[in-house]
Amino acid sequence: MKPPAFAYHRPRSLADALDVLARLGAEAKVLAGGQSLVPLMSMRLAAPAALVDVNHVPGLDSVEVTADRVVVGALARHSRVEHDPEAYDAVPLLRRALLLVAHPTIRNRGTTVGSLVHGDPAAEMPAVLCLLDGFVTLRSASGSRDVPADAFFTGPMESDVRPGELAVSATFRRPPAGSRSSFLEVSRRHGDYAVCGVGAVVSDGTARVALIGVGAGPVLVPLDEPDDPDRVAAAVDAAIEPEDDIHATADYRRHLAQVLTRRALAEVS
User: Quick check: 187 binds another protein (CB under 8 A)?
Assistant: no
Selection from 45, 187, 167, 50 nearest residue 114 by Cα: 167
Residues 196-225 interacting with another protein (rule: CB under 8 A):
none
Cβ of residue 1: shortest distance to another protein, in angstroms?
A: 4
User: Quick check: 51 binds another protein (CB under 8 A)?
Assistant: yes
Handedness of CA 5, 108, 169, 154 (dihedral sign): positive
Please give the Cα distance from 85 to 62 (Å, whole number). 14
Please give the DSSP secondary-structure letter assigned to residue 201: E
User: Quick check: 191 binds another protein (CB under 8 A)?
Assistant: yes
Q: 102 or 223: whose CB is closer to another protein?
A: 102
Selection from 201, 190, 193 nearest residue 133 by Cα: 201
Phi (first) and psi of residue 263, to 5 degrees: -65, -40
Q: Single out the residue of 18, 24, 28, 35 in contact with another protein (rule: CB under 8 A).
A: 35
Q: Single out the residue of 20, 38, 46, 141 in contact with another protein (rule: CB under 8 A).
A: 38
Please give the Cα distance from 53 to 188 (Å, whole number). 33
Residues 231-260 interacting with another protein (rule: CB under 8 A):
none
Element (H, E) at 124: helix 124-131
Q: 54 or 147: whose CB is closer to another protein?
A: 54
User: Quick check: 154 binds another protein (CB under 8 A)?
Assistant: no
User: Quick check: 49 binds another protein (CB under 8 A)?
Assistant: no
Q: Single out the residue of 21, 28, 30, 31 in contact with another protein (rule: CB under 8 A).
A: 31
User: Quick check: 144 binds another protein (CB under 8 A)?
Assistant: no
Q: 101 or 184: whose CB is closer to another protein?
A: 101
Only segment of 104-112, 146-154, 156-164, 176-184 that touches another protein (CB under 8 A): 104-112
Please give the Cα distance from 166 to 163 (Å, whole number). 9
User: Quick check: 42 binds another protein (CB under 8 A)?
Assistant: yes
Long-range contacts, 29-35 (Cβ 8 Å, 24+) = 30/54, 30/117, 30/166, 30/167, 31/55, 32/74, 32/75, 32/111, 32/113, 32/114, 33/77, 33/78, 33/109, 33/110, 33/111, 33/114, 34/109, 34/110, 34/114, 35/102, 35/106, 35/109, 35/110, 35/114
Site string for another protein, 55-94 (x = CB under 8 A): xx----------------------x---------------
User: Quick check: 186 binds another protein (CB under 8 A)?
Assistant: no
Q: 56 or 263: whose CB is closer to another protein?
A: 56
User: Quick check: 176 binds another protein (CB under 8 A)?
Assistant: no
Residues of the shown chain interacting with another protein in the complex, contacts defined by CB under 8 A: 1-8, 10, 31, 34-35, 38-39, 41-43, 51, 53, 55-56, 79, 102-106, 108-109, 190-191
